[in-house]
Structures are given as C-alpha cells and as structure tokens.
Structure 1
Amino acid sequence: MILLSQEAIIAEEKLTQYLLVSLPKDDKSKFLAQAGYTLENWQQLEKDLRTQVLTQPAKFIEKNRYGEKYLIRASLRGVNGVELNILSIWMVTDSTTRFVTLVPSKGVDA
C-alpha cells in the first residue's frame, strides 16, 4: 500500500456534474447529502477528499491503458459531522494522480 499525492486532480465537473447531482442510475448525491455535501458546497467535498481520503493508504487494483488504478477505503466526515464509509478510485500515471469516483463502502474488501 502507498500514499497517493494530495495534489491529485479532482475535476470540478466530477463533483458538480456527477457526484452531487441526482442521476437516474448510480446516483451518489443522496448518499453524500447524508453528510451535508451539496452542489452549493462542492468545494468542501473536494477539500475533504484531499485531507481525509488521500491521507489514507491506497491499495493497487490493476494496471490498464490509462495507468494504475488504486482504491482507498476511508471514512469521510461531512460538514454536518456524519461519517460516510466510502471506497474511492484513483488513477495514477507517471505524471498525475486523478480522482475517478467514490461509492458507499459495504464493508467488503474490494
């Protein structure tokens, strides 16, 4: 296991147009809303991913044409104090680390 760069790229669009908006399939906005994350405070989610998630060890999953994929299992304490257990996915290349997505952790090791 390794620690990934806290300077990772976390695209604003990934948060504001995917994770924090209601979607008909694979919706994560309701899950994140439990901890107080909304479109209005998306910057807080970005900050918390850096300070609460990227500080945890990352587990290598696989190498593909996009780079090396890593998983980080962590607790994310939201703006209202509620803790969410999450699995986050990150893609690492020679020059960058990039946030891919997060999902609720069901307690099963991935």
Structure 2
Amino acid sequence: MSSNLVIEDAKLTRYLLIYQRKDDKSKYLAQYGYTLDNWQVLKLDIIKAVQGQEIDEITQTDWGQRFKVKSQWTGVNGKLIKVITIWQQSEGEDTIKLITLYPDKSEEN
C-alpha cells in the first residue's frame, strides 16, 4: 500500500470510536485499548500497519478506486488486532483516504 495514506481525524473521533447503533466499530476497537482518549495512537497504528501491505482487492467506483487491505498489529493493551480497512483514491487525487475499518473475521478459530 502507498505512503500517501490519509486518515481524517473526524473519521476516528466522530465515527469509528463513537458508538453507532448500526455497524458499531467502537466496541471492537475498545477491546484493544483504543478510545477517544488515544485516537491519535489508533491513527498512527493503522497507517503503520497498512503501509507496505499488499492490496487484497481493488474496486472502481464512481468516485475513484477503492482498496481493501487486511492488516494486523499489537493494540495498546498488548492484544493482536486484525482488521480490514477500505481506502479510496478519488479521481485526480494523490492521497488515499481511509473510508472504514472493520474486524477481520476470516481467520477466526
């Protein structure tokens, strides 16, 4: 994955780390020690984990290309977190922005 990755602060502070009735990610991230109090750590951890990873899937949309990337790292509490991230490179843009993140359940025991 490219080094032009961008995660907008609001993506974490107003979406991923906030409880949502539908498709909540905050409880999953909290299991690994991520909360609103340390959202900057989550931001850095996601970028570090994704940089250099292979892209699992590329999809063309009306807005640009979307990339699906599986990654894992050790969360702030020492537990291994496995996620799938979706990124988008909009037409004419150099940067690749995080769209969402969700648990990677593909290798569950």
- The normalised TM-score by structure 1 is 0.87
Alpha-carbon deviations, 1:57-81, whole Å to 9, x = none? Answer: 1133310111111111111321111
1:53 counterpart (50, 60, 74): 50
- The normalised TM-score by structure 2 is 0.88
Query: Which letter maps to 1:65?
Result: D
Alpha-carbon deviations, 1:28-82, whole Å to 9, x = none? Answer: 0010011100000000000001111223111333101111111111113211111
2-structure distance, mates of 1:76, 1:38: 16
2-structure distance, mates of 1:35, 1:12: 19
Q: Secondary structure at the match of 2:85?
A: strand
- Segment drifting more, 74-83 vs 27-36: 74-83
- Alpha carbon RMSD of aligned pairs, Å? 1.4
Structure 1 gaps, min length 5: none
Aligned residues: 105
1:41 alignment counterpart: 38
Identity among equivalent pairs (%): 39
- In the alignment, is the contact (CA less than 8 A) between 2:85 and 2:99 conserved in 1? yes
